[in-house]
């Protein structure tokens, strides 16, 4: 039987992606594991690997095609003993074999290749992708037209509704039951993506009418914008935030940093093997603080508290058109150099949108640093499922009072945003105190 290659879902939230490049051409022989195409999403570029053997009979979606919906037929592979031409003419398998293509990360996740060999850390285990709802991500959801419309209006995710219609199709009664029983999750792509941030009732039209026609350019949201809008609205609406600020004296840290960087071994090109930044210290300090205050290294779920054993710190990386938070895993076991190099790799690949889903999903806390813009202090929005996020301001010389004497020191203000459901005030204070202690006494990070 001919094998249908469908547009794969690279992450549970992926709805569509761009077909960046065909690595194989029509007529090419492929075998399991061969990279056949590159798919680009808002966040990453992924390779599509073949699962079956055969000959690419027909490519249906040319490379460079934007916004190809997940599960769309992109190519047909003629199986063993099949005539590729006949298969191409047939238009594909009658019953789609939707698992013909898998995004590379779905295959056994491996340690990030960029991991410097010097890092003595164990290969980080890929964090499990967020639990998919009723249907595995990317699997086609069958629903009646009416059910689809009702779910859309109610903002329900069809994938999270169990269907009771013919062949498990989702029908009107299922959506109504989900609505009544709250059995469904909110749709990942709400009916009006981005709109939840606005006061209810403000339609696109209403907003647009407030500005003179022609005085603005209208740019449709890409999926990253939609996800940012949805997730942060969700965070602000469902997470009771509170904020704790402290000022940290960086004098000792800066000295340590200088010493560490000066001592960095050089490679053949006489380039240092690492250059540790203040932010790397911040990541390390937060990771260690979470180990010192393990009650704060948690995730709140509806029914339980997930108490994490590792400190996996997401670090917000600004990229054109949005941001992404790759997660540095097992920070508690990693040295500064390892963290530093890992971050450099993450940042570069984030900007190239080449991060794999398991590299930006999960995590227990996060760091958002706007110090490079001269921001003194700010509060960040918690990125679920984290319980905390540390907003880091600029390091600047300030006059401080020490033992009754005025003194100039390099100070850095940080603000911890905390999910009160998971971490109460005193516990949050304990965490940020531990952080401050580590930052101000960087030597203690060595233990």
Active site residues: 420
The partner residues of 69 in beta bridges, in order of sequence, read 16
Distances (CA, A) of 218 to 93, 211, 221, 229, 301: 41, 12, 9, 17, 38
Is residue 41 within 8 Å of 15, Cβ to Cβ? no
Q: Give the pair of three-digit tokens for residue 100.
A: 């013909």
* Cα–chain center distance at 203: 29
Total residues interacting with other proteins, rule: CB under 8 A: 11
Enumerate long-range contacts of 227-231, CB under 8 Å, 24 or more apart: 227/13, 227/42, 227/188, 228/322, 228/323, 229/193, 229/194, 229/195, 229/196, 229/197, 230/188, 230/189, 230/190, 230/193, 230/194, 230/196, 231/383, 231/384
The binder of other proteins chosen from 81, 117, 120, 145 (CB under 8 A) = 145
> Closest Cα to residue 440, out of 310, 246, 306, 259?
246
Q: Is 204 helix (H, G, I), strand (E, B) or coil?
A: helix
Q: Give the pair of three-digit tokens for residue 396.
A: 């600047």
- The pattern of x and - marking residues 171 through 210 that bind other proteins according to CB under 8 A reads xxx-------------------------------------
> Does 147 participate in binding other proteins (rule CB under 8 A)?
yes
Give the DSSP letter of residue 382: P
Find the part of the chain contacting other proteins (CB under 8 A) among 86-94, 166-174, 180-188, 380-388: 166-174
Residues 88-107 that bind other proteins (CB under 8 A): none
Cβ closer to other proteins: 156 or 431?
156
Length of the chain: 447
Q: Is 38 helix (H, G, I), strand (E, B) or coil?
A: strand
The binder of other proteins chosen from 150, 159, 412, 439 (CB under 8 A) = 150
> Does 374 participate in binding other proteins (rule CB under 8 A)?
no
- Min dist CB 16 to other proteins, Å, is 21
The binder of other proteins chosen from 67, 153, 258, 397 (CB under 8 A) = 153
> Does 149 participate in binding other proteins (rule CB under 8 A)?
yes
Find the part of the chain contacting other proteins (CB under 8 A) among 48-56, 95-103, 149-157, 196-204: 149-157
Cβ closer to other proteins: 66 or 164?
164
Cβ closer to other proteins: 147 or 235?
147
- Min dist CB 149 to other proteins, Å, is 6
Find the part of the chain contacting other proteins (CB under 8 A) among 51-59, 126-134, 147-155, 383-391: 147-155
Q: For the chain, how many helices (H) and strands (E)?
A: 10, 19
- Min dist CB 65 to other proteins, Å, is 25
The binder of other proteins chosen from 1, 86, 89, 146 (CB under 8 A) = 146
State the Cα–Cα distance between residues 50 and 5, nearest whole angstrom: 9
Residues that bind other proteins (CB under 8 A): 144-147, 149-150, 153, 164, 171-173
């Amino acid at each position: 039987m001919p094998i249908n290659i469908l547009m794969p879902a690279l992450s549970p939230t992926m709805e569509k992606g761009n077909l960046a490049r065909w690595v194989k051409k029509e007529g090419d022989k492929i075998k399991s594991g061969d990279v056949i195409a590159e798919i680009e999403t808002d966040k990453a570029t992924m390779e599509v690997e073949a699962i079956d053997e055969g000959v690419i009979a027909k490519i249906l979606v040319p490379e460079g095609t934007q916004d190809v919906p997940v599960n769309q037929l992109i190519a047909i592979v003629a199986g063993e003993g099949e005539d590729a031409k006949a298969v191409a003419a047939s238009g594909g398998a009658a019953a789609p074999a939707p698992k013909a293509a898998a995004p590379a990360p779905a295959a056994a996740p491996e340690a990030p290749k960029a991991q410097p060999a010097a890092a003595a850390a164990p290969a980080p285990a890929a964090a499990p992708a967020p639990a998919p709802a009723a249907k595995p991500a990317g699997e086609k959801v069958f629903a009646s037209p009416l059910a689809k419309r009702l779910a859309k209006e109610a903002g329900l995710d069809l994938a999270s509704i169990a269907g009771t219609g013919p062949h498990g199709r989702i029908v009107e009664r299922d959506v109504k039951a989900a609505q009544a029983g709250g059995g469904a999750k909110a749709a990942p792509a709400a009916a009006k993506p981005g709109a939840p941030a606005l006061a209810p009732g403000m339609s696109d039209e209403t907003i647009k009418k407030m500005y003179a026609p022609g005085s603005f350019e209208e740019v449709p949201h890409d999926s990253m914008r939609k996800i940012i809008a949805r997730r942060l609205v969700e965070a602000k609406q469902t997470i009771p935030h509170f904020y704790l600020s402290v000022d940290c004296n960086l004098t000792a840290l800066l000295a340590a940093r200088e010493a560490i960087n000066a001592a960095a071994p050089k490679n053949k090109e006489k380039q240092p093997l690492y250059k540790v930044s203040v932010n790397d210290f911040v990541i390390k300090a937060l990771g260690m603080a979470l180990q010192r205050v393990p009650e704060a290294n948690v995730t709140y779920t509806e029914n339980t508290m997930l108490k994490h054993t590792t400190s996996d710190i997401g670090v917000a990386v600004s990229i054109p058109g949005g941001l992404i938070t790759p997660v540095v895993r097992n920070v508690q076991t990693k040295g500064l150099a390892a963290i530093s190099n890992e971050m450099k790799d993450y940042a570069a690949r984030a900007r190239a949108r080449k991060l794999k889903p398991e590299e930006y999903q999960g995590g227990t806390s996060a760091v958002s640093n706007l110090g490079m813009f001269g921001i003194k202090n700010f509060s960040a929005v918690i990125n679920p499922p984290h319980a905390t996020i540390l907003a880091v301001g600029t390091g600047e010389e300030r006059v401080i009072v020490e033992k009754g004497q005025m003194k100039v020191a390099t100070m850095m203000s940080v603000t911890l945003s905390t999910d009160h459901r998971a971490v109460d005030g005193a516990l949050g204070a304990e965490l940020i105190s531990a952080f401050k202690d580590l930052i101000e006494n960087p030597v203690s990070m060595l233990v």
